[in-house]
Amino acid sequence: MRELAFRDALREAMSEEMRRDERVFLIGEEVAQYNGAYKVSKGMLEEFGARRVIDTPVSESGFAGLSIGAAMMGLRPIVEFMSWSFSLVAADPILNNAAKMLYMSGGQFGCPIVFRGNDGAGGQLGSTHSWCVESLYANVPGLKIIIPSTPYTAKGLLTQAIRDDNPVFCLENERMLALTGEVPEESYTLPIGKAELIRSGNDCTIVSFGRPLYFCLEAAEELAREGIECEIIDGRSITPLDIDTIAASVCRTNYCVVVDQSWSFASVGSEVAAEVHRVCFDDLDNYVYRVHSDDVPAPYAKGLEQEMLPNARKICEAVRSVTYNA
């Protein structure tokens, strides 16, 4: 199968959906003439024209709200946040309007919209540009959150997100955009709310969301040399959470480590851990360990930033600790 970069897989999903459905359009800062700040939308202006690939001024609250208004009327906007860090200034429209419109209008006005952009640290951008928003936003009913980790999942999940009738947040990561992988040429979808088994192993389940998958794979190799075989599950979606797939694995391995790049308190990781404790209570041989970014603002210095992230070393330590009694 042909290989495609993560950013090209995202673009392919958007372009295919725009060819298929006239209601779909792309809007955001620098998405058109500049070809996207991270070149995700390269060439799309040329193909679809300025009416469907729309450059905005730096007004996240304004263009997020505008797109939600358009979605209320049945269009299907794809809104690019250059970074999810910048979505914080659009908190009111994305959390109050997108997430609640269907409910507050008693089912009259839905919000079929996708917000997408870079999430997470890793490029030495300092604290304000290194937000992991998943734990903040997962707390809000009415949203779906996808977090692809490979070019294949990026195309399939984003295609599904664009077709979804609900607001979907797609969390990408700048560090992964150049990553290549096999991607089918034809259009396909991956279900939102379905996790995927990435690596089989009998000793410990590791659940990961997004980019930390690669830290998990790195850790699994090291642990395998020590004789610990890890089973890795890529969550793919945060809400809905596929607890069934996670639990099926944990009930077999009896140990679980959750890796989540956001901060630990009231987080995706703590939610998954709580769910695993609830569902797999009788099958667990130890409590669920969690690996997060350290509870500090993201630092600039490279060494500090790498240390803050849920890196392979921390994952190895967690797996060794959780399985000590195996």
Helix axes 312-322, 212-225, angle to 10 degrees: 50
CA-nearest of 197, 205, 179 to 289 is: 205
Q: Catalytic annotation on 60?
A: yes
Task: Mark residue 191 as left, alpha or beta (left: phi above 0; alpha: psi -120 to 50; beta: remaining).
Answer: beta
Kindly state the tokens that stand for 104.
């507050």
Residues 136-195 that bind another protein (CB under 8 A): 141-142, 144, 165-166, 193
Q: Which of 102, 220, 230, 273 binds another protein (CB under 8 A)?
A: 102
Residue 301 amino acid letter: A
Write out the DSSP string of 19-79.
Answer: HH-TTEEEEETTSSTT--TTSTTTTHHHHH-TTTEEE--S-HHHHHHHHHHHHHTT-EEEE
From the list 80, 129, 172, 174, the catalytic residue is 129
Told to check if 52 binds another protein by CB under 8 A, we report: yes
Q: Which of 83, 85, 97, 118 binds another protein (CB under 8 A)?
A: 97
- 33's CB contacts (< 8 A; 6+ apart) are 45, 55
> Binding string, 223-262, against another protein, x = CB under 8 A?
-----------------x----------------------
Task: Tell me the CA distances in angstroms from 5 to 181, 221, 223, 233, one per residue in order.
Answer: 6, 24, 29, 22
Task: Mark residue 30 as left, alpha or beta (left: phi above 0; alpha: psi -120 to 50; beta: remaining).
Answer: left
Q: Catalytic annotation on 277?
A: no
Least distance (Å) between residue 67 CB and another protein: 6
Question: With contact defined as beta carbons under 8 Å apart, do 261 and 212 qualify?
Answer: yes
Told to check if 264 binds another protein by CB under 8 A, we report: no
Q: Output 59 or 200, the one with its CB closest to another protein.
A: 59
Q: Which of 3, 19, 20, 104 binds another protein (CB under 8 A)?
A: 104
Least distance (Å) between residue 99 CB and another protein: 9
Least distance (Å) between residue 189 CB and another protein: 14
Question: With contact defined as beta carbons under 8 Å apart, do 87 and 257 qualify?
Answer: no
Told to check if 70 binds another protein by CB under 8 A, we report: yes
Told to check if 30 binds another protein by CB under 8 A, we report: no
Told to check if 72 binds another protein by CB under 8 A, we report: yes
Least distance (Å) between residue 312 CB and another protein: 34
Q: Which of 61, 124, 306, 311 binds another protein (CB under 8 A)?
A: 61
Least distance (Å) between residue 18 CB and another protein: 11
Least distance (Å) between residue 56 CB and another protein: 7
Cα dihedral 64, 66, 69, 71 sign: negative
Cα dihedral 90, 95, 159, 18 sign: negative
CA-nearest of 43, 225, 234 to 157 is: 234
Told to check if 33 binds another protein by CB under 8 A, we report: no
42 CB burial (10 A radius; 0-12, 13-18, 19+)? middle
Q: Output 43 or 191, the one with its CB closest to another protein.
A: 191
Strands 256-259 and 204-208: parallel
Residues 187-206 that bind another protein (CB under 8 A): 193
Least distance (Å) between residue 57 CB and another protein: 6
Q: Which of 6, 25, 84, 255 binds another protein (CB under 8 A)?
A: 25
Instruction: List residues near another protein by CB under 8 A.
Output: 22-23, 25, 51-52, 54, 56-57, 59, 61-75, 92-93, 96-97, 101-110, 141-142, 144, 165-166, 193, 240
Q: List the catalytic residues.
A: 60, 129
